[in-house]
Amino acid sequence: MRLQEIMSTEVITIGPDETASVAWSRMARAGIRHLVVTDGTRLLGVLSERDLGGRQGGAVRKGRTVRDLMSPQVTSARPATTLRQAANLMRGRLIGALPVLEDGRVVGIVTATDVLEELGRGSSRPTVRATRQSIRLPPASARRAAASRARSAKRSPRATR
């Protein structure tokens, strides 16, 4: 599966000079945890709910701009990036969202939640379902007697008439 199949194409962006409080309000209204920071069409960073201090982060946001709090070193992906590659990028870099770029332009975003939902559905690879089955064995004494008979039969050839 490729990111182009699961990415959100309605990317909510914000400018670097907006206030952190405006960013928090925008996230809350949209019910999201990441904003893509752009200057026109150019990707500048990602701003997360954590960067803004979360629900109790009023003091973190006060008097600050998006530029002050955003993560400017952005890891991004392409639409053709596989789900597995995206998961490994996010895990390796400890990030919760990947902007998806095509020709240097933001065309989507994929979050850790998106990746986990797809992996949870099993779309990344087929799975084998195991079943448990019970079988009844004869008592140990009967198994030993059968094994002893089998060994005896191998050792002493039968006489033929």
pLDDT digits (tens, 9 = 90+) for 31-46: 999 999 999 888 999 9
Instruction: State the residue range of the domain holding 50.
Output: 3-121
The number of folded domains in the chain is 1
Q: Give the tens place of pLDDT for each residue, 12-29.
A: 999 999 999 999 999 999
Judge residue 137's burial from the number of C-beta atoms within 10 Å of its C-beta, 0-12 exposed, 13-18 middle, 19 or more buried: exposed
pTM (2 d.p.): 0.70
Assess if residue 58 is contained within a domain: yes
Residues in Cβ contact with 56 at an 8 Å cutoff, skipping those fewer than 6 apart: none
Read off the CATH number of the domain in which 82 is found. Answer: 3.10.580.10
Task: Return the DSSP state at 65.
Answer: B
**Has residue 55 been placed in a domain?**
yes
